Amino acid sequence: MADSMFSSSASAKDSASSEIGSERTLYPYVTGTSVLGMKYKDGVIMAADMGGSYGSTLRYKSVERIKPIGKHSLLGASGEISDFQEILRYLDELILYDNMWDDGNSLGPKEVHNYLTRVMYNRRNKFNPLWNSLVLGGIKNGQKYLGTVNMIGTHYEDSHVATGFGNHLARPILRAEWREDLTFEEAVKLLEKCLLVLLYRDRSAINKFQIAKITEEGATIFPPYALKTFWGFAAFQNPTKGAEGSW
C-alpha cells in the first residue's frame, strides 16, 4: 500500500517536473520587425524601429532592439522580445567571462557572431529555438564586420544585411545605392529611405526609429526620432482600384 502511494506520488511529481521543464517559447508573442545594418566609411551603422507587436496589435512603442555588446560590437534583433532578452543575458555572461581573464584582449564582432550562430543552431537542434533574427556588426583593429543569423542558425556576412520585411523591401535599395565610402550622413540618409519604404509597406513598423553606429571610438545609440511621411499617394487613397470583382 505504502509502495503504491509512493509510486503514485513520484509519478505525479515526475509529471509536474516534466511539465515545468517543457516551458519554452512555443510561439512568438511580442515581436519586433526589421533591423537594417550596413558598413560605411568609418564603421558600421544600424537602424530599427521601436515597435513591439502583441500579435497584430502594436502594443509597445519604446522597445530598444539595438544594444552594444562589449567594446567592439552592436547587436540588433527582430522577432520575440523575451528571447532577445535571453540572448542578451547569454552575451553578458560571455563578455564578463572574457573580461575576467584580464589579458588585454577582448572579443571582437566576428567572435561574437560565431558564438551567436552556435547558440541559435544549438537551440534549434533541441527543438527549442530562440525566435529571433539577429544582426551583429562591429569594428576591431580597423576591420569592419557585419553578419546576420536567424532562428535556425543560418548565417552569413555581407556589406549590408536586413531581417524581416527589410530583407525583401530594403535590400534591393541597398544593393542599388550602397557604397563602401559612404559618409555617416549619407549612410543615415540611405537607411532613412529604406525605413520609409518599410513604414509604408510593413503593418508592424512604426514611425519611431533608432539609429546606432559603431566606430573605433566606440558605440553610439542615438535618441529616437520620426520621419516625415506622406499618405496622399493614390494607391493609399483607393487601395482596391483595379481589383473589381474581388472581395
Residues recognised as catalytic: 25
Q: What one-character-per-residue DSSP string does 91-135 give? A: HHHHHHHHHHT-SS----HHHHHHHHHHHHHHHHHTT----EEEE
Three-state SS across 30-72?
A: EEECCEEEEEECCEEEEEEECCEEECCEEEECCCCCEEEECCC
**CA 4 – CA 88 distance, rounded (Å):** 47
What three-state secondary structure class fits 44?
A: strand
10 Å Cβ neighbour count for 1? Answer: 5
Beta bridge partners of 135: 76, 148
